[in-house]
Structure 1
Amino acid sequence: MRSKDNVMIFPGAEGWPFPKYLGSCGWLIVTISTKPLKSFYGASSDVAADLALQLLAVLESMKSNDLNYFFYFTRVDAGMFGVFSDGHLFIRDASTLGVIDKQEGSQWMDGQQEEKDIFSSLVIDNQSVLPPCNSIKHTQSLSMVCAELLSKLLKGTFLPPVQKKIDSALNICADSSLTTQEIAMAAQELVEILKPLRTCDSHFAYRYPDCKYSVRL
C-alpha cells in the first residue's frame, strides 16, 4: 500500500496508525518530531512495554476494524515503524501492507478458494502477482512482528522471572509453523504480562493524563 493512499482511505484522524499527509495527492507530511522504532532497542522497561503493547494493539486493529478489512504485512523491519515525540507509535512505511476486504472475500474467511482476486489494489506495482487470500494466515503479521521486532525490543529488558515468561511467549508467537490459535494465545499472554509493566506518567504524553483518570475510575 502506498503511504499516500492512506490519506483518503485510512486517515490518521480516524484512528488509523498512519501519519497525516496533506495536499491533493497526499505527498506532503507535516508532523512533530519522530524516531524510528529501532532507536528504542535497549530502552527502559516501561518504554519497551508501552511500545510493545502499542505494536500488538496496531496488529489487532489491522485484523479487526469497523471497515471489515484485514491488513497484513508481507515483511516487516524496524524502519517501517516510527514513534512521535509524545510516545505514540505509527506505521511510517506502508509499502509492504496488503489489504483484504473481508466482506467481499467471504470465501477466504471460510478457507475456500476464491474465484477472483479480492485484494484492494493498493500496492505500488498493480501488475504484481498477489497470493490467494486463503494463503494469508490471520497471524502472519503477528509472527513477523514477534520474530523481527518484539524479540529485539524486549530482549533482556526485564527482571529474570518476567523476562523468561516474555521470551517463552515470544518464541511461540514468532513460530509461523504453529496454528493461528497457538500464536494468538501467545500474543495475548504477552499483552497480559506487559500490561502491569506499563506506567502512567507525563513521559507518555499521548495517553496522559487519560490513563491517570481511568485508573481512578
Structure 2
Amino acid sequence: MDILFVSFLLQIFPEAEGWPFPKYLGSCGRLIVSISTRPLKEFYNISPDVAADLALQLLAVIDSMMNNDLNYYFYFTHVDADTFGVFNNGHLFVRDASRLGIIDMQEGSPLIENHQEHNDIFSCLAVDCQSVFPSCHSIKHTQSLTMVCKDVLPELLKEKFLPRVQEEVDSTMATCADSFLAQQEVISAAQKLAKILKPLRPCRSQFAYRYPDCKYNAKL
C-alpha cells in the first residue's frame, strides 16, 4: 500500500471522529505528521505505570479496529515497534498505516484468489501481478491482536512489574500471542491482560488525555 492509500485512509477515518490515526494535513498524496510525536519503541524503557497505560491503549486500539459501529474490520499484515506512536499528551495512535487492510463486514468482500487467472499486460499496469491476494476469509478476526501480543507488548512490558504480577502478565501475553488457539481464547487472554494492567496506571497529569474519565489531583 502506498502513500496515496494512506492519505485516503486518514481522510475517510479521521482522528477527529475517534479513529486511532494522526490528523491528515495535506493534499494530492502529501502527508504531514506532527513532530510532537514519538515512536512507541522510544518508550520501551519507560516507567511501569506509563508502560501499563500504553499497553492498555494499544489493546483498546486493536479492539476498536476489530469491533466498531461502522462494521469495518481493520487488520495488520505486520506490526513492529515503529507501527505505533505516542502524541505529546501520552495518547497512542497508529503511526504507520501502510500495512493495514480493511474489510467491510456489512457488505462483505469478494474473494480474490482467481484474480491472477485474468491477468494481462494491461491489468498489470495497475496492479502488481506478482502479489498474492489473500481471501478475506483467510484472515482471522484476532490476527492483529496476536501480532501485537507477540511482537510489541512483550518488549514494552518486559521486567516492568513485581515478580508475581510480571509472571501473570507474561503468561497472559503468551496465550494472547498464540495464533493456534481458538479466537475466543486469544480475546479472553487480551481481556485478562487489560484487567491486570488497569490498576497499575494511576490518575495524574501525565495521563491528561484520559480526562474526565480519569480525574487527578493536580496538587499531588
2-structure distance, mates of 1:159, 1:69: 39
Deviation, 1:206, is 1.4
**Length-normalised TM-score, structure 1:** 0.85
Instruction: Decide which of 102, 105, 108 is 2:105's aligned counterpart.
Output: 102
User: Is structure 2 residue 50 aligned with structure 1 residue 35?
Assistant: no
1-structure distance, mates of 2:42, 2:105: 35
Residues paired across the two proteins, number: 199
Match of 1:77 in 2: 80
Match of 2:201 in 1: 198
Please list the CA deviations of residues 42-81 of structure 1 after superposition, one character each: whole Å capped at 9, or x if unmatched: 2111100000000000000001112110010001011111
2-structure distance, mates of 1:3, 1:35: 19
> What SS class does the counterpart of residue 214 from structure 2 fall into?
helix
User: Is structure 2 residue 210 aligned with structure 1 residue 207?
Assistant: yes
Instruction: Decide which of 164, 183, 200 is 2:167's aligned counterpart.
Output: 164
2-structure distance, mates of 1:169, 1:161: 13
> Structure 2 vs 1, CA of residues 126 and 80 (structure 1 numbering), >3 Å: closer, same or farther?
farther
Match of 1:186 in 2: 189
> Structure 2 vs 1, CA of residues 26 and 50 (structure 1 numbering), >3 Å: closer, same or farther?
farther
Q: Which has the larger radius of gyration?
A: 2
- Indicate the larger mover: 63-72 or 200-209: 200-209
Match of 2:95 in 1: 92
Query: Cα RMSD between the aligned structures?
Result: 1.9
Match of 2:21 in 1: 18
**Length-normalised TM-score, structure 2:** 0.84
2-structure distance, mates of 1:6, 1:67: 15
Runs of 4+ with >6 A deviation: none
Give yes or no for contact 2:89–2:208 (8 Å, CA) kept in 1.
yes
Match of 2:158 in 1: 155
- Indicate the larger mover: 68-77 or 30-39: 30-39
Deviation, 1:209, is 4.9
> Structure 2 vs 1, CA of residues 176 and 208 (structure 1 numbering), >3 Å: closer, same or farther?
same
Percent pairwise identity: 66
